[in-house]
Amino acid sequence: MQARNNTSAALAALALMLAPALSQAADAGLPAIAAFQQAPAKAPDTTVATKADTKAARPASEDALRETDVWGRIRSGYAIPDLDNPLVAKHITWYSSRPDYMARTTARASRYLFHVVTELEKRGMPTELALLPFIESAFNPQALSSANAAGMWQFVPGTGRDFNLKQNVFKDERRGIVASTDAALTYLQRLYDMFGDWQLALAAYNWGEGSVQKAIQRNRALGKPTDFESLSELMPAETRNYVPKLQAVKNIIANPGQYGLTLPLIDNQPYFTAVDKTSDIDLTIAAHLAELSVDEFKALNPQFNRPVITGGEHTKILLPQENAEKFHLNLAQWGRALSTWTTHKITSARERIETLASKFHTTPEVIRQANNIPQKTVLKAGSTILVPKLATSANVDIAPEVADNAIVALEADRGVKRGRGYKAARRHSDDDDDAPVKLVKAHVSRYQHKSRHRNED
């Protein structure tokens, strides 16, 4: 089920909310760049599910909107019926006996929870669903499972595409904070509408709706109940523990002191702002202009797979509010190229990385790092890779259709003899006066990161 369309009144309210930020951008001399604050709706017209089989219409609690801490706001919107069984107790013990793990997870969550809770309230959904990434990824947007599920909400590639999450060489929106949250909540809404029960909807999110439907049909045929606990004996261990894990976290968040834990204060206000960009920009340059570390920039913009952010004005980057203001001011004074990268399409198997490095005045290592090309592999014809810009492409952005359709196809290096191109590339890497090579290598070294397994810190 797709998210409900905004009414014209909501659009008008949004326009009024955007006006000050747009005016500020214009005052900074940046008419094409607009920042907007993702604030909660002041009078949301929503419903929340208070039972397993019904939704009771009510506005968001005024107490929730007055909360100074996001944790209190989450507690005020709990609406999924509680579980109380040995599995819940087991997981409460696991989480509460690992205060360092909980501290790291809640610290990561502090960047994202305000946005997630706001989106849940807009849709009238139970606010404890904001805690689901505790179970899925420990709030690590770079988490990658053995089943290739990625991001904070752990979408596998096919389900991600079903919910319009772009996945290409340059971007994987399964990791993007705003896009993946919208997709996850839309998916959970659809599952609730299918089963009329939040616990079964959660089981289906983990196990698949078809598997839950088959389990329901089997119990019905035997005259047995079809609630979560009655179906759990038919579920794989991961799904059988899935809702109890969420219940355990829910109980701990409800009363952390009871379990010897302290939660970090998360102000009940937006952590980040979305900023439009008008041209390609290197990830390291964007972080520099925002006066953020590269790690913090990636924590808010984990969807970008390469050291350059493409996509023109339709691509947004997330920044803390005060850093968005710094970004505008620093960008207005930058006066240099924003991107040092362009693309090159491999047309022949004879185009080896060593030859390309010589052609683009860089090293094989820089090309491999920028494109995530492992050692002892070569590029197949048809691949599109990043290479450093030359003077002829200095002011040319990567075309959107190129970014959307780029692929990198690899095969094992079968030991083709290294020729003159490799030696030339080595000479470039040894040239102490080759400043452009050093710049590119520095950008790449700051860009690199390792994907982590789900729940791995």
Where along the chain do its domains lie?
8-259, 272-332, 341-447
Q: Which pLDDT belongs to residue 21?
A: 38
Tell me which of 171 and 42 has the higher pLDDT. 171
Q: Which pLDDT belongs to residue 435?
A: 38
Q: Which pLDDT belongs to residue 63?
A: 56
Q: Which two tokens stand for residue 172?
A: 């994987």
3-state secondary structure of 341: strand
Tell me which of 453 and 230 has the higher pLDDT. 230
Q: Which pLDDT belongs to residue 34?
A: 31
3-state secondary structure of 274: strand
What is the average pLDDT across 322-328? 96
Q: Please give the positions annotated as active site.
A: 136
Q: To which residue do tokens 């900023």 refer?
A: 275
Nearest to 402 by CA among 169, 160, 176: 169
Q: Which CATH architecture has domain 272-332?
A: Roll (3.10)
Q: Which pLDDT belongs to residue 35?
A: 30
Judge: domain 8-259, CATH 1.10.530.10. yes
Distance CA 170, CA 265 (A): 35
The 10s digit of each residue's pLDDT in 419-454 is 444 444 444 444 433 433 344 444 444 344 333 334
The 10s digit of each residue's pLDDT in 116-165 is 999 999 999 999 999 999 999 999 999 999 999 999 999 999 999 999 99
Q: Which pLDDT belongs to residue 438?
A: 40
Distance CA 202, CA 187 (A): 10
pLDDT > 90 in the chain, percent:
70
Query: pLDDT class for 45, splitting at 50, 70, 90?
Result: very low
Q: Which pLDDT belongs to residue 36?
A: 26
Q: Which pLDDT belongs to residue 314?
A: 77
The 10s digit of each residue's pLDDT in 288-307 is 999 999 999 999 999 999 99
**Fold agreement between 8-259 and 272-332:** no
Helices (H), 282-419: 283-289, 294-300, 321-332, 353-359, 364-371, 400-405
Distance CA 238, CA 13 (A): 43
Nearest to 172 by CA among 63, 51, 267, 305: 305
Q: CB neighbours (10 Å) of residue 395?
A: 10
Q: Which pLDDT belongs to residue 144?
A: 96
Q: Which two tokens stand for residue 60?
A: 């968001």
Distance CA 344, CA 373 (A): 15
What is the average pLDDT across 239-249? 98
Q: Which helix (H) or strand (E) holds 308?
A: strand 308-309
Query: pLDDT class for 30, splitting at 50, 70, 90?
Result: very low
- Measure Cα distances from 203 to 102, 157, 229 in Å: 24, 19, 11
Q: To which residue do tokens 């079809």 refer?
A: 226
> DSSP letter at 56?
E
pLDDT at residue 457 above 60? Answer: no
pTM: 0.77
